Amino acid sequence: MAKTASKTIYVLNGPNLNLLGTREPETYGADTLADVETLCRKAASAYGLEAECRQSNREGELIDFIHEAGANNAAGIVINGGGYSHTSIALHDALKAVNLPSVEVHVSNVYAREHFRHHSFISKATFASLTGFGIEGYRLAIAGLAAKIGAKAKA
């Protein structure tokens, strides 16, 4: 018998996102990672879901989080791979392996930045990508993921 999907969305943040609010505020804004996590928990709750928020500066740990989401039959994944988005085939492969609906998020508009940021391995393993909305992109990603899995906003 197949496991029923949980009500948990994994929100995964990669390298340097722990420095939100202080790192290049002209690019990333003044909001902190704690602000992102609060926003995600509220956004998920609006759909009867829970957000499990994780951050790591280590690629292997992010892969472990993805595997955990798969093992727990999570409802989906929202991922900001940071710089690993542009370099990590391993994150791509992990997302493909767990086969959960996933959305890629970037706080800044990566296409208006350095050329090397214009390619994402992660985006090829997700059903959608959001860039340039600041931390509001996380709320949009959760709304899109909720729609994809058929979760309705609570009245």
Single out the residue of 36, 116, 42 nearest to residue 80, CA to CA: 36
Is 106 a catalytic site residue? yes
Helix 89-98 with 59-71: angle, nearest 10 deg: 10
Is 115 a catalytic site residue? no
Residue 39: half-sphere exposure toward Cβ, Cα within 13 Å: 18
Please pick, among 10, 28, 47, 84, the residue that the annotation labels catalytic.
Answer: 28
Single out the residue of 72, 68, 54, 75 nearest to residue 11, CA to CA: 54
Please pick, among 47, 84, 92, 106, the residue that the annotation labels catalytic.
Answer: 106
Q: How far apart are the first and last CA of the chain?
A: 32
User: What are the DSSP calls for 70-98, one per residue?
Assistant: HHTT-SEEEEE-GGGGGT-HHHHHHHHHH
Residues marked active site are found at 28, 106
